[in-house]
Structure formats: structure tokens, C-alpha cells
Amino acid sequence: MDKTKRGACAVIFISRRNANDPQGYAQASETMAAEAARQPGYLGMDSVRDADGEGITISFWQDEAAALAWRKHAEHSLIRDRGRSDWYDRYGVVVTRIERAYHWRR
């Protein structure tokens, strides 16, 4: 399924990681990615982070209801709280609906 199909919901998570507990963060990140992939309406995810800790993760959802269900997911809520207390210096979230998407590949 195309994760950038028209009408899908994109949740853009822009963050600044600190140096605290890299193993705990890596484990939580892996666990959350696997759990998100099991949720109804999940379409995919792309994520990048630079050496200074600046990162962007975009998760794609069939619709806003699926994205909101993930936001309310109990384990995701616990990890989000841990992120605030331990792993992030700051973050922001932008939720948007996809109107158009273009792809190119060599």
C-alpha cells in the first residue's frame, strides 16, 4: 500500500535527542516502530537523525482516526512520557493530510 496516498495522514515528529541512555532509547524506538506497524491504518514510517541529535520521523496513517488511535495507545503514551523525562530536549508534532505526493527513483 502507498504510504503517501492522497487523503492519508502524516504525523511529522521533529525532535532533539540528548545523550542520555542511548541503549534504552534505541530499544524503545525499535519496540515502538514494531508496535506502530501492527496498528490498524498504519501505512509506514521514515526517520532520520543527524550526529547532533536533530531528527525527523514521519509516520503515515490511513486517516486521522488511525493516527489518533496510535497517539492514545497505552504503551506509546508510556514511552512518550519517558521520552519527555529522559531522551528529548525538545520535540514538536505536525499532523497533516496528504494532498499530493511525488516519487522518483533511479
Give domain limits for the chain: 9-97
**Distance, CA of 21 to CA of 2 (rounded, Å):** 35
The reported pLDDT for the residue numbered 32 is 96
Residues across the chain? 106
Place of cell 528529548: 88
Query: Is the domain 9-97 a CATH 1.10.40.60 member?
Result: no
Count of C-beta atoms within a 10 Å radius of residue 90: 10
In tens, the pLDDT along 6-34 reads 999 999 999 999 999 999 999 999 999 99
Provide the 3-class DSSP secondary structure of residue 4: coil
Q: Cβ-count burial of 9 within 10 angstroms (0-12 exposed, 13-18 middle, 19+ buried)?
A: buried
Contact 12, 91 (CB under 8 A): no
> How do residues 42-69 score in pLDDT, each as one tens digit?
999 999 999 999 999 999 999 999 999 9
